[in-house]
Amino acid sequence: MRARVLFLLDLMIVTALVAVTRCANYSDVFAGDQINFVDADCYARMTRARICFEHPGTISLQLVSLFQHTFNNRPNGNRIDLMRMMAAMKPHFLRLPGGNYLEGDTIKERFNWKETIGPLVDRPTHRSPWNYQSTDGLGLLEFLEWCEDLKIEPVLAVYAGYSLKGEHVVDKELEPYVQDALDEIEYVTGDVNTKWGAVRAKDGHPEPFPLHYIEIGNEDEFDKSKSYDARFAQIAKAVRANYPQYKLIATTPVKIGNPDVIDDHYYKLPEEFFDMFLRENLVHVAEGLPNVSRRFGFHDGRLRMLQHGRRPERAKQKLAFEWRYPPRLRACCFPMRAC
């Protein structure tokens, strides 16, 4: 007598490790393959799935993945509500797969993109730096399709040989990860005649994805080994030799490697951001100081501070700030700033 396991699933989409060939209120199916209801007419009717086995025994489920409707009806896609909110923000790009998630706590726990593609059941999973086991159901292809659904471009972040707890590789030991980066770029952009472009096509997306920017590493100002300059230069040289059309992003200023863009990461208080803004956008008010004073009614004490050298930089910043932003505009645009 066959042992039966009945799953009552009040869901719109059911995905499990079973096989089905038709849409019905009940489906008798057997272990071994994958069930994936993606037909819109099937959503409303299919609220129960029955998984059947030939003999009694203990059942171990390797992967059960349950989805409601997804944005654009994308298989293994994203939640509609969150995607709509992101679309309303009108973003231009998504850096994928993130920062700390890219590096992992150790090299073994990095985002190893080759283990995040293909059938979900074949992805081995990995520990994330936030101490949960990632299923890698959101793998490289899903990140790229996320961009596609939002009609934005990816900024591809590639692993650069450094992980969060300080484990790192350089020179010869870095070479396998350099090759991984080159393979990853080919997976994203290569046509179906390339090795990794063919793998992407097999995964269900024959068209290459658009790409203009590649970021090497993540927040390497925290690199305690001080090896980022050499690691960036080594990876940049290889990428430019194979893909000279792309802009390369460094995660902190470097002395070698000639990055096209610097991705500064700041962890500062609001006042510190204002101070940075003022320093970088300081207008030269010294020559027209009296006119500036009359126009915005500066107190004479501030002018004397600038003229007599008492905290001159701070006084100049204050004058520049008020010159650019009169009181009404300040109140509107900078409510956190105590002027």
Each residue's pLDDT tens digit, 195-234: 999 999 999 999 999 999 999 999 999 999 999 999 999 9
pLDDT for 244:
98
Give me the mean pLDDT over the 274-282 stretch: 70
Give me the mean pLDDT over the 120-134 stretch: 94
Give me the mean pLDDT over the 119-130 stretch: 94
pLDDT band at 21 (very low <50, low <70, confident <90, very high): very low
Query: Is pLDDT of 245 > 60?
Result: yes
pLDDT band at 13 (very low <50, low <70, confident <90, very high): very low
User: Of 109, 112, 87, 83, which is closest to residue 97 (Cα–Cα)?
Assistant: 112
Give the tokens for residue 144: 């790229």
Is the model more confident about 327 or about 175? 175
Is the model more confident about 88 or about 300? 88
Q: Which residue has the tokens 């396998």?
A: 176
pTM for the predicted model, two decimal places: 0.70
pLDDT for 31:
43
Residue 239 neighbours by CB under 8 Å, 6+ apart: 181, 182, 185, 214, 216, 246, 248
What is the C-alpha to C-alpha distance for residues 240 and 233, in angstroms, rounded to an integer? Answer: 10
Check if CATH label 3.20.20.80 holds for domain 80-262.
yes
Give me the mean pLDDT over the 300-319 stretch: 43
| φ/ψ of residue 198, rounded to 5 | -65, -35
pLDDT for 42:
52
HSE-up of 259 (CA within 13 Å, CB side)?
24
| φ/ψ of residue 256, rounded to 5 | -135, 160
- HEC profile for 123-187? CCCEECCCCCEECCCCCHHHHHHHHHHHCCEEEEEECCCECCCCCECCHHHHHHHHHHHHHHHHH
Average pLDDT, the chain: 77
Percent of the chain at pLDDT above 90? 57
Contact 236, 258 (CB under 8 A): yes
Give me the mean pLDDT over the 97-120 stretch: 97
pLDDT for 58:
86
Extents of the domains making up the chain: 4-69, 80-262, 270-333
CA 135 to chain centre: 17
Give me the mean pLDDT over the 276-295 stretch: 51
Greatest mean pLDDT among 26-35, 237-246, 302-311 lies in 237-246
Contact 126, 115 (CB under 8 A): yes
